[in-house]
Amino acid sequence: MLSNVVTRISLIGLLAFQAGCDSTALAGKQHSLPELQDLQSLGAQAKANELPIMLMFSAQWCDYCVLLKEQVLNPMSINGLYEGKVMYLRNVAIDEDDPIPDWQGKPLKKRDWAYQINADLTPTIVFFDGHGKEVAERIVGISEVTMFAGVVHNRLNQAYQNMGLQKRIPATPELLEIQQQMPPQ
């Protein structure tokens, strides 16, 4: 009888542990910069919503890429202020070999594309419109991670202007958050 109770308690504990592990893994996936899966679909979204696409070209072995993701881009990705509101933000892992659909739906290897557009030095951030045209100055490497979000905001405003849009965002994520909390005028 006692061994039956111990077995049941052990099973309950194991199930609770497994559920905790699964939710932690899921939470980790939700808290990271989304990987680019389909340029054609993303381009269509960007065109429909008149927003630029910001792509970070990275590699697993790139320590600066990890730092940039952890300190700047993952928070931008999960805080709800950017995705679908001021831009679309994706990671482009140049060390992945599986092809994705390009702007026209044709198979494209990320590594080959990075070399073609000179974005193979990681990290490199490139801004595109929904047609695949570069619309702002690139950001190559990291000079000062604490000011990086401000540089991204600057390039987004360049992208808006080059896309012929009347949009503009504030200089920092903090000011963007305040702006988005204000009622529309």
Residue 72 in any domain: the answer is yes
pLDDT given at position 113: 97
Residues 24 and 41 in one domain: no
pLDDT of residue 150: 93
The pLDDT of residue 48: 98
- Cα–Cα dist 46/132, whole Å: 10
Q: Which domain holds residue 18?
A: 1-30
Q: What is the pTM of this model?
A: 0.81
Residue 18, pLDDT score: 41
Answer yes or no: do 7 and 95 share one domain. Answer: no
Whole-number pLDDT of residue 5 = 39
- Residue 35 CA, chain-centre distance (Å), reads 7
Which residues, given as ranges, of the chain have pLDDT below 70?
1-31
Whole-angstrom distance, CA of residue 33 vs CA of residue 136: 20
Is 102 in the same domain as 130? yes
Query: Which pLDDT belongs to residue 26?
Result: 36
Q: Do 68 and 159 belong to one domain?
A: yes
Tokens of 54: 């910001």
**Residue 109 lies inside a defined structural domain of this protein:** yes
Residues 19 and 42 in one domain: no
> Are residues 2 and 47 located together in one domain of the fold?
no
CATH of the domain at 89: 3.40.30.10
